[in-house]
Structure 1
């Protein structure tokens, strides 16, 4: 959410930030609505003062026995009361319109975010590992002999429809091992607090984390009105909504492994093969709530946490900073990590690490009390995948594939697989 006071003070800077995202200038429309709202509030307050003045005069007229004046003032008070109620209703309606308008405007990009229109303008900032050179034609994850029977899309389609999967046997175990490894690493090595968070959230939580009102169609809503989380960013971040934290409480660093649900509205025909893009998937999320002065450093720290998972699994990757035209709605700056997938002969996104600045905190009124006793200020919130479990499974299977259809698994997973390192062509761990 944008600060209306900042827009009043510097509308040109606000429009320039929108222009960097490829959006039209909006300050004049916003300020016109804001001025109408403020004028209506002032008019209602003036009418309220007149009503109060007339109400006091009623008592004096009654004490004097001036019946005519008494009745005139009663009529005036009744008229003012109706006038005030109408003005207050109009002011409330204008305020709701202004809030809705501001809620649909994306975050302003940080100054160091590269200018660009789409993913082709993203800038690579890091590369780790060397893509594996196979002596045979690489297969995609679902084509590998030791995997194909345990990755059942037909049964899932019968039960749930397209873009779902049944994982069975050893493949299901590897998937579970990956999630456990990620959580343990974030807790034991990266200092995050593990949270078992809900996957059903209310409107307020979706709104506070900028998923509503603009992106409701991208998520699933239950008949009871709750939403299935698109990521545990929503419950973790919203957990501090309405709070005024002590500065000494910061930073808050959390991680959660949950099911995630996305309708993938508008993505028909994209990445439909295999389990790269699913309606239901699992993710280990990282969320930080920090002091504004440490926000940028925290994003770099979170990025290293995510990169470290891939390095421990020996998965080659590259890191890019997203350009202004490819960033998410609430992001101020986003780093994407893309894992190497031999089956597609390319790098594919496996994690996004974003800082939202005070954008989400303002929407959900999350603040902290400075240690020096100053006025409460908005916290900064950050989120990042640490990692998407299904996509990490794809990367592990494709990078470890052998010509005979078996898969060599990363050493880091051995403790979670009973010491076993090989997924055989027969689908059995050994």
Structure 2
């Protein structure tokens, strides 16, 4: 085991010596305060301004009329803010690349922001781009490389305004392609997440092995910074297996469900605590290991505790970061995988009632199995046990990663 973590440490340090990754990890950390604001704004909106959400439905909370009228405007601000994250990341990342190359050129950073904003705007190429970070990173890196070469050529041959002209040409190209073709619809249809959502999830969601495959796929989507398919991020009660189980439960046939081991009873109920990759376990593990620490990571975990309980993992995903971090590729897969397997064992042994009933939007996933099984207290105990197992899976990886953080500080 020590040799494995030694290899991981060397590999991580090699990555950090490359401009691509060192600038990327710094950019994620710089972006974290903006992510914190975005997460809490979204949390307030989904908790209090949506009548169908968990808190209004469970506690009977209703906003005053004069506040509820602002709901659509607040939703628009929330959505717009989150959709700008790839563009802001492009600006910060390009700035960090330029610093690593000991170059200052604000035109390049502003150009990256503008072009990514156009590409990822709903009116142009990519729909719903909140989590589409990987494409933003790749595009930004190559745009900076191209514009830097043009900048060198401009200085060498005294060709003034070459970089601004190149930026103008790129922006014009985006407008031209978007105006000529219905690119927005094409990219929406052919995006990996959308295709996966439409053609794969329903196919594999009604049996144990299929759910295991979907669990692994969701973790890989998340770790790489690609958009996680919506049916693997939020409960989708329109899936055939969920509808069949619900109909059987309404006929009082809970003991003879057609799909007892499906995506609702396993993945939604036990593999999404804190969001994709069981990230609530990361927060708990950091707080446990950081009892005697007083640094930014522990403070970040404390700030992230409430959002993680409410299914938001963005603060930890950017603050650590989890994206493209070799220390976390294995636990982000194995933790939810173990959760699904344990949940299947509990259901198969008839120790718990499978989750069947529909839940209010944004119900904490940690409480999902308990509420969706009509208040089976054994399901709540199973959730606690599964969360503890996930924490144990993450502990050694986080422990060695914290040592890596300390090594970086000391050097």
TM-score range, shorter chain: under 0.3
TM-score normalised by the chain length of structure 2: 0.24
Q: TM-score, normalised by structure 1?
A: 0.23
More helix by share: 2
**By percentage of residues, which structure has more strand?**
1
More relative contact order, 1 or 2 (CA 8 Å, 6+ apart): 1
